Amino acid sequence: MSRKLWCAGILALVMIASAGCGQKPTTAPESGQQETVSGEQQTTGSGSDETAPEDKTGSDDKGSEAGTAQDDPSKGSSTDSSSQTTESTAKKEMIDVYYTDPQELDLKKSQKEISFKNEAGKYEEAFKALQSSGKSELVPLWGKIELKKLDFKNGEITMDIHMPDEARLGAGGEQYALDALTKTMFQFDEVKTVELLVDGAKVESLMGHVDLEHPLTRH
């Protein structure tokens, strides 16, 4: 009788133990599912937070591009204004210019307006005026002569010219050419002398007929 009771007690303990073991797996998955769901929610939340800075960066780039586009017109306007200022600094002056008649019988005076920015520029423009009259009755005596360089310092003009063979004149034309040059240049009070060089050298005669002074002076 006692053996039956002992066996029944052991069987009861086994059943209780098996019942307790069967309840534990049911609880574990539920907690695991809750942790997984909460983990997904955290991941989703952090992903949405990382998207926001990208949008801000894009907006900043657009703003900088817009600022750059606005700067370009302002630069263009400053360039235009500087060019207008340079043009406004150019001076204009009406001067006397000397030519001869078609028969080379006399020296003729005419007037021309020149535009220049500095002293040397004024005398260069005066020489250019000697090269063209714009009138058939006024023949230029320096039309075929090339001005290579012109300097002005301490009241002296130094001119370096190149003279091709076709620019050479007779004795009368050579004298008129020198007179036309000196009368045109010496109308400016600040000019005291004119040193005339041919291809960088002092020559005895400009065209072979009349002695050339070094420098030419007022008479």
Rounded Cα–Cα distance for residues 80 and 123 (Å) = 29
| Mean pLDDT computed over 144-155 | 96
pLDDT of residue 89: 83
Mean pLDDT of the chain: 77
Higher per-residue pLDDT: 136 or 47: 136
Of 62, 47, 217, 190, the closest CA to residue 126 belongs to: 190
Q: How far is CA 210 from the centre of its chain?
A: 50
Of 218, 172, 178, the closest CA to residue 196 belongs to: 178
| Mean pLDDT computed over 131-140 | 95
Question: How much of the chain is in helix, strand and coil states, percent to nearest 5?
Answer: 55, 20, 25
- The first and second tokens of residue 164, run together, are 């091709």
Cβ pair 127, 147 in contact under 8 A = yes
Q: How does pLDDT run across 182-193, given as a tens digit for each residue?
A: 999 999 999 999
Higher per-residue pLDDT: 204 or 59: 204
Domain ranges for the chain: 1-89, 91-217
Cβ pair 164, 127 in contact under 8 A = no
| Mean pLDDT computed over 37-51 | 44
